[in-house]
Amino acid sequence: MTNPTITRRQLLLGACCLSLGVTSCAATNKTDPDALSTEPYPRNATEALDRLKRGNQRFMAEKSFHAHEKFSWRSLLVDTQKPFATVIGCSDSRVPPELIFDVGFGDIFTVRLAGNIIAEDVVGSLQYAGSHLHTPLFVVLGHGGCGAVAATLDAILHHAQEPEHIESLIKLIKPGLRGLDFNQSWKNLLHAAVEANVRWSMQQLLMFPEAKRALKERHVILVGTVYDLKTGGVRFLS
């Protein structure tokens, strides 16, 4: 377990020392003090989740730290990385996880695909995050007004046709929208569908024995979230 007083910078610096040697490490110690972490490195999934929540609060209040962006910090990431969370998000240009959670280079491992879907390539990336990076927290990040979810609703309600590869995305989203009340207003339906799609992505992840085992043994936490385009807030699903 990581010492709560050790910053993320110190953790990475230690990894650099092991791989580069004492001489290189001593030189790295002379980096800009402004690159120091403003928050301790999370010791577990619960602290990692709290870190993301605090970051989103700063983002909404327009008080972002903008930490971990300078060269002095990025130089520590050349040979190693130690992200404290993995985020599975949508490719939508309006939903950049690093900005939403006010984190910087090397803080989170992000996997983005339209509709935050769980495709085979996504699973491979998530497996890498768990097996090699050992991130204790996995977050599925959906967002209001998701185009992929809206296209899926159009296909269900109006049999709308999309190009071949968009259709493949729709097929992966459709099962998660079963059981919705399709008679409600479009606004309410899309809102409900976005949340249902996040929960569907989570459900698919839980189908993998490796994920089940990690959650059962409390090695990791899986959390569903929905980002509000208007307020900038992230709603954490129960």
Q: For 64, phi and psi rounded to 5 degrees? A: -60, 145
pLDDT > 90: percent of the chain: 74
44-68+81-236: CATH, from 3.40.50.2000, 3.20.20.140, 3.40.1050.10, 3.40.50.300 = 3.40.1050.10
C-alpha–C-alpha distance, residues 13 and 179, integer Å: 50
Please calculate the CA angle 218-219-225 and round it to the nearest 5 degrees: 80
| Joined tokens for residue 188 | 């309410």
Asked if the model's pLDDT at residue 32 lies above 80, the reply is no
Kindly report, residue by residue over 96-154, the tens digit of the pLDDT: 999 999 999 999 999 999 999 999 888 999 999 999 999 999 999 999 999 999 999 99
Contacts by 210-213, CB closer than 8 A, 24 or more apart: 210/127, 210/130, 211/130
Report residue 35's pLDDT band, with 50, 70 and 90 as the boundaries: very low
Give residue 29's pLDDT band: very low, low, confident or very high (50, 70, 90): very low
User: Rounded mean pLDDT of 190-214?
Assistant: 92
Domain ranges of the chain: 44-68+81-236
pLDDT average, residue stretch 69-77 = 92
Task: Note whether 212 and 206 are within 8 A (CB).
Answer: yes
